[in-house]
Structure 1
Amino acid sequence: MFLDRDKFKPAAEMRLARDKSSIRVMITDQKVCELGDAVYAWITANGKPVRIGTCGSSAGKHLLSYPGYINRSLAGRGGATPKWEALKWLGLLTAHGTLTAVVHQPEPTLTAAGPIRPCLDVERQLIRQHRPLLNRSHR
């Protein structure tokens, strides 16, 4: 596995819908999905990250938003996800069957402004290290 299993916990799964033309996300661990100020990654069955990001509020809410953006783009209705990226999501799910979302909430670090969770720093480091296929910007 490319990400530390002791830190990153499975939270949700992404699969193709029955018609194979759209995707869906199912929560697999509600407690992990309640975490906020967290780093998440969509990974293949062998643990390779294909998308790494952060979420401010609940991880579950953020993960559940993926199908809406991707499916809207696949249907040709535009939106935040470019068509090329939506097609790559579709291709990955066709090839792998399932992608798993794993979530990690970094420990707070004491700063002059008080304690903060270094989510963006962790995200930046992981993106630089893994160069995930579906990250549009390499922070």
Structure 2
Amino acid sequence: MFLDRDKFKPAAEMRLGRDKSSIRVTITDQKVCELREAVYAWITAGGQPVRIGACGASAGKRLLSYPGYINRSLAGCSGATPKWEALKWLGLLTAHGMLTAVVHQPEPTLTAAGLVRPYLDVERRLIRQHRPLLNRSHR
């Protein structure tokens, strides 16, 4: 696996919808999905990250937002997900059958401003390290 299994815990699964032209996300671990200020990654069965992100609010809320953005784009509506990216999501799900979302909440670090959870720094480092296919920016 490309990401540390001791830190990143499975939280959700992404699959094709029944019509094979849309996607759906199912929460698999509610407790992990409640984490805030966390880093998440959508990975293949082989552990290859295809998208890495961070969330200040609950991880589950962020993970569950993916189908709406992607399906809207696949339907031809404009929005946050470009058409080319939505088609890549569809292609990955067709090829792999499922993607798994894994989540990690970094430990707080003591700084001059007090305790700070460095989740954005961890996200940035992982994006630079892995260069996932579906990250549009490589922060």
Bin for the TM-score computed over the shorter chain: over 0.9
CA distance in 1 between partners of 2:116 and 2:85 (Å): 32
CA distance in 2 between partners of 1:110 and 1:126 (Å): 21
Aligned to 1:71: 71
Aligned to 1:92: 92
Moved over 6 A (4+): none
CA distance in 2 between partners of 1:83 and 1:95 (Å): 18
Task: Flag structure 2 segments of 5+ consecutive residues without an equivalent.
Answer: none
CA RMSD across the alignment: 0.3
Aligned to 2:129: 129
CA distance in 2 between partners of 1:134 and 1:76 (Å): 19
1:56-89: CA deviation from partner (whole Å, max 9, x where unpaired) = 0100000000000000000001110000000000
User: So what's the TM-score if we normalise by structure 1?
Assistant: 0.99
Task: Flag structure 1 segments of 5+ consecutive residues without an equivalent.
Answer: none
User: So what's the TM-score if we normalise by structure 2?
Assistant: 0.99
Q: How does 1:20-99 map to 2 (within 5 A)?
A: 20-99=20-99
Aligned length: 139
CA distance in 2 between partners of 1:47 and 1:78 (Å): 31
Aligned to 1:109: 109
- How far the C-alpha of 1:126 sits from its partner, in A, is 0.5
CA distance in 2 between partners of 1:115 and 1:39 (Å): 17
